[in-house]
A and B are shown apart, each in its own frame.
Chain A
Amino acid sequence: MASRKVEQKATSIEQLMAAHEIVVACGSGGVGKTTTAAAAAAMAAVHHGGKVLVLTVDPAKRLANALGLEGFGNAASRVPPEAFKQAGVRPRGQLWAAMLDTKQSWDDLVNRHAPDPTTARRILENPLYQNITGRFVQSHEYIAVERLYELHSEGDYDLIVVDTPPTRNALDFLEAPERMADFFSSRLLRLLTIPYQSRLVNFATKPFYQVADRILGTQFLQDIAEFFILFQTMSPGFVERAKAVTRLLHDRRTTFVVVTTLEAAPAHEAEYFIDVLSSKKFHLGAVVLNKVLPDYLRDEKGEAARLAEGLDDNAAEVAHVLAPAVGDEDAAQVQRVLTEVAENFIRFQLVAQREAEQEAMLGRIPDVVATVPYFDTDIFDLAGLLQLGEKIWC
């Protein structure tokens, strides 16, 4: 395997992205994972060159627009060079974007792994297929890593930045390939796929099927069995593939970036994710702290904090002094404004201090920690995306 040299520890997102072929952004939902992944990919395309792909699970329309695309699908679209021109930069490389289409990717997998086209068609046409692929064994998580593997092995890109689906459990994404392999070699699957008649004479499983029959009906159970029998024909390909996917996630060419805000719940999840990544020996490259309130709000005993307290108590007097200076006759109005300014500061200070505590609790964090300030406005173009990218880059 011709992996790039990564002996030297990366000290910035820039170095991290230069040294890896796959960057996986993870973290809980709503922390700005997708935007961060896109911003980092855009930066890599601008500064490092080569072909950079951002593979995303659930892009907002605004992100597509920000990339100068009408929308994008399972097939990668190139971010038009004009979008970079408008943002005032000349990228050294190309930026591509693709979206994960779970249904389409599952269909592709079936077509690839089914022993023959007839079986593939029977699986795809089975009424349970859609329902089941949508539900069992973390199929979304599996399909995300599977697609990543496919894109990587096709070798069309120098760097792939992938944003993971929001998971209920951080482990789901990492363990999905193993679970998929386990599923295909499980005893349960074998039991389910024993032809229906021979089950009735099997002493051990008889009570189960009797109960199941009464609840679900024989026909439904037969439908399920038939489906799993068909599905099992894909087993060898699936198991081998799942193992290869697992290897790729562990490969030193792959690095993980945990994205989080400093709100309690996401930060807690991030802490857990950091633990899991290191205990499972995945490469944790960086933590990106997103939407962090400005530093001046954190200093509890600083001058600003003191001023805010004082202003809150003495707004009337200060207003009296300031009203003529700002050309306002109405001192009461100035006082209301000053009181709001003071109380707002005190309120946000509380939030900022909670953030500081969360940050301290993140504990065992990797060498690279990037902080993104609270952006006043939403990002609506490539320039905005790159502006965010600048914050995490060096």
Chain B
Amino acid sequence: MRPPDLLDRRLIFVTGKGGVGKTTVAAGLALLAAQRGKRTLVCEVDAKGNLADFYESGPSSFDAREIQPGLFTMAMDTERSLDEYLRLFLRVPVMGRIGPIARMFDFVATAAPGVKEILTVGKLCYEVRERHYDLVVVDASPTGHVVGQLAAPQAINSLVQVGLIRSQTDWILEILSDPDRTGLLIVTTPEEMPVNETIELSARVAKETTVQLAGIVVNRVLPELFGRGEEEVFDRLSDPSAKATVDAAMGGDAGPLLAGARLAVTLRRTRAVHLDHLRESVDPALPLLYVPYLFARTHGLRSTRAVAESLAAELGY
């Protein structure tokens, strides 16, 4: 069966090793969805809170905020998520009013396995279930922690025998396990460690969670400098015997220019090896989306737009 279009899903978790551009991709993907007319929520799960930098919007909070038509941002806050949960499902007064007890609960939530995670995943699934948005994009935890997050409902099921949390895990699991609605994107760069982590993570996701891997985004792909035949010309141009002629034609020492091109060619070639390794190690049907390295002096919204554009091209829009 053909997997659904990436953006036709309702809940997309975006993860990746630290430093590969996980937040950039999550921000770009959400922007693309909003541009295509989907009411989109993008939620950052880690308290680092730099999603705002990618949209040049104010800091996000637990209360979703529309930063441009159809695009909402929020920041996960498990305490607030608990408040909301208690209010909605248990009709218990807000924890904030009972001061130190909220802190104690936070402590238990930190120590008890899966509680913080279920409050995070539960809130996100709740937004999906209530159809508040067409798509929820999650800037999820990095590779090391994301499995714990996605597998939280099962962890809770195995540890908690009774109680209300237990009864809540069923519908959460149903949403997470439905490949038409939920998918995971792993972001990587064509470098050794990120690629290895991606391969390991895709195996763990299949084994330990019910969430389907929807694709891998390869970020910062360097351009191919020379096509067929051109590299041969370049080799001849950089041959020491041609140096005097080349320098004369260019009107100065062409050494640095040629060295720069050589560097780019080698870097791309080294990375190609890692990309091949990635392709060979994952399901051949899994979509790999390539996002080029951004050389231009852009950051913030401009670079987010560039990423959205590349993703659009990769998704065939």
Contact = CB atoms under 8 A, between A and B. Distances in A.
Interface of A: 28-31, 60-62, 127-128, 131-132, 134-136, 166, 168, 188, 191-192, 204-205, 207-208, 211-220, 223-224, 228, 263-266, 293-294, 296-297, 303-304, 306-308, 310-311, 318, 321-322, 325-328, 333-334, 336-338, 340-342, 344-345, 347-348, 350-351, 354, 374, 376-378
B257 A307 contact: yes
Given A228-B111, A374-B263, 19 more contacts: A29-B17, A30-B19, A132-B112, A135-B110, A188-B104, A205-B104, A211-B105, A215-B164, A216-B160, A220-B162, A294-B259, A294-B260, A307-B250, A322-B237, A334-B233, A336-B227, A341-B258, A344-B264, A376-B267
Contacts of B165: 215-217
A374 B261 contact: no
B105 A326 contact: no
Nearest to B239: A326
A261 B163 CA distance: 49
B207 interface: no
B251 interface: yes
A208 B92 CA distance: 11
A86 B97 CA distance: 69
A14 to B, nearest CB: 27
6 contacts: A127-B159, A215-B86, A216-B112, A263-B19, A304-B253, A376-B266
A188 B254 CA distance: 68
Interface of B: 17-20, 46, 48, 86, 90, 92, 95, 98, 100-101, 103-105, 107-108, 110-115, 144, 148, 155, 159-166, 191-194, 196, 225-227, 229-230, 233-234, 236-237, 242, 245-246, 249-261, 263-264, 266-267, 270, 273, 295-297, 299
B296 A212 contact: no
B299 A326 contact: no
B102 to A, nearest CB: 9
Nearest to A303: B252
**Max chain A CB contacts within 10 Å: which of B234, B259, B260, B261?**
B260
| Secondary structure class of chain B's binding surface, majority of residues | helix
A212 B164 CA distance: 10
A269 to B, nearest CB: 9
A207 B245 contact: no
B256 A296 contact: yes
B257 A341 contact: yes
B287 to A, nearest CB: 24
B270 A354 contact: no
Contacts of A328: 233, 236
Contacts of B86: 211, 215
A310 B254 CA distance: 11
